[in-house]
Amino acid sequence: MNFIKRGFLGITRKKGKSLILLAVIFILGNLISGAISIQQATTNVEANIKERLGATATVELDYEEMDKLSEADWENTVIEDLSVDLMKQIGELSYVKYYDFNLMHWLGSESIDSYQGDMEGEVVHHGPSMDFMLKGINYAPVLDIEEQKAKLVDGRVFTQEEVDNGTSVAIISNKLAEKNNLNVGDTFTLVNEVYTWDEETGEDNLVTSRDVVLEIIGIFESQTIKQDDSEGSSEMGGMMDFMDIEFQNTVYVPNPIIVDEMKYQYEEYLKADEEYAEMVAAEGEEASFEYYTPLYVLNNPEDSEAFAEEVAPLLPNLYKVHSATDQYDSIAGPVESMSNLSRYVLYAAIGATVLIIGLVVLLFLRDRKRELGIYLSLGEKRGRVIGQILIEVMVIALIAISLSLFTGNLIAGQVSETMINADDQSYQDDYMYYGGAIQTHLTTQDVLDSYEVSLNSSFVLAFFGIGLLTILISTVIPLIYILRLNPKKILM
């Protein structure tokens, strides 16, 4: 009789043992299925969240390392500025899609009003009003527009010639334009004021000022999605409102414009404060106004680690690469704990399957020792006898694994939901990185909302691959028993 046919007959002839094997594999299959489901769900969450965080990176001072320095270390430490040449060298790396380096400067205005959103009329200034943030750019197409943080709704972006020459042109927000009835082609005036501090009165004294006249060449609309207020997130919503107001009052200009205005403020302040001017002269150092903040947009979020490793040797002492994706670990506590637990469960389930199925098959083979001896004594090859046993086990395993595919996935969804609710109590704080070139405002809840246990093709392939391979290994090990059988001794 064909050994394949004997294998199928072996399943139906000994229904009790077949059902026991089916039940054992089904139970173990649920563990494997659940662990793989959670693993894939957490992997998808990480990919999705890092995609939302973006593929941006910057170079900044490593304040954690600076805090570790002793007073003696500080005496021998010189913090260098990032040079434009170094920022350009980093920007030429293969990981970088495009890059920019920016200066920031705040100015006021007597001719136009700033946008204040829902806080209109509530803002009270103590001292000089500096409502407009000039953001200098070197990348003419404007990186914020390229990255869809802002959308150009009217006019155009800069030309590289305008950026290099520091032409007095600007791009402003649509809300700022609407509030002041401004259009493309119009000019508006900001004021660069220089103040000194009067220690006796405790007030700022206006020393001098000059107008900064800019022509509007483009108008942008913010594409930042404001997060809905939810229970426990009012503070986060307030910060989001503040960020939106700041963005609406941002004025994009070429970097040289900001350099000129900072230089003007510095020189006028030296004229007004003789004591400070003498101290500066005694030090003999030339003032620099080009403290740029670089921002690199990488080809993929996955390039962040490799980019950081390649850039690190190029950086001056006490500088580091900061990537947007670095924030994932800070907000993904509940999901990461589930990922770690599911990985341990998967390893344990695979080990238990190999051990338990191996023992069950071995016991079944010992009960069938006489049957197997007859096959061998009749001239059946050992390989065909092994093939018969493999067919019996693998057919049962295929049925059990197919059933556990759905139940394990369902159990994983229920268990992970319970774990999330429990772990989330330990991660109540929303995380926001605000400042410098990178701004992210994802929360732990955003991570949890992205978590979903689903039954997709990649999960099915992974589960069947791991499950059947584990059962195969579990079966092959006890089959060594057949190779050691001596049919003459069995039949005597």
Per-residue pLDDT at 175? 93
Evaluate whether residue 245 is within a structural domain.
yes
Evaluate whether residue 178 is within a structural domain.
yes
Same domain, 361 and 218: no
Which of 236, 268, 290 is a domain's end point? Answer: 290
Same domain, 237 and 126: yes
Evaluate whether residue 299 is within a structural domain.
no
CB 11 within 8 A of CB 400: no
CB 482 within 8 A of CB 85: no
Same domain, 138 and 225: yes
Which of 290, 306, 324 is a domain's end point? Answer: 290
Evaluate whether residue 199 is within a structural domain.
yes
Evaluate whether residue 403 is within a structural domain.
yes
Same domain, 264 and 350: no
Same domain, 284 and 141: yes
Tell me the sheet residues that pair with 137: 254
Please tell me the distance from the alpha carbon of residue 404 to that of residue 407, in angstroms, as a whole number: 5
Same domain, 136 and 228: yes
* Total domain count, the chain: 2
Q: Which long-range contacts (CB under 8 A, 24 or more apart) does 65-70 make?
A: 65/318, 65/320, 66/318
CB 184 within 8 A of CB 219: yes
Per-residue pLDDT at 188? 95
Same domain, 16 and 149: no
Q: State the residue range of the domain holding 208.
A: 104-290
Tell me the sheet residues that pair with 152: 220
CA angle 276, 280, 281 (to 5 degrees): 115
Same domain, 23 and 116: no
Evaluate whether residue 394 is within a structural domain.
yes
Same domain, 466 and 351: yes
Please tell me the distance from the alpha carbon of residue 343 to that of residue 361, in angstroms, as a whole number: 27
CA angle 167, 172, 178 (to 5 degrees): 135
Task: Report the b/e string of 281-317 with b at 16+ CB within 10 A.
Answer: eeeeeeeeebebbbbbbbeebebbeebbeebeeebee
Tell me the sheet residues that pair with 322: 58
Task: Please give the DSSP secondary-structure letter assigned to residue 314.
Answer: G
Per-residue pLDDT at 428? 46
Burial class of 108 by CB neighbour count within 10 A (0 to 12, 13 to 18, 19+): middle
Answering whether pTM is above 0.85, one says: no
Same domain, 48 and 116: no
Evaluate whether residue 312 is within a structural domain.
no
Please tell me the distance from the alpha carbon of residue 113 to that of residue 105, in angstroms, as a whole number: 18
Count of all residues that appear for the chain in the document:
492
Evaluate whether residue 161 is within a structural domain.
yes
Per-residue pLDDT at 127? 46
Tell me the sheet residues that pair with 133: 106, 250
Same domain, 378 and 268: no
Could you say which residues of the chain have pLDDT below 50? 126-127, 226-236, 426-435
Which of 290, 316, 342 is a domain's end point? Answer: 290
Same domain, 383 and 478: yes
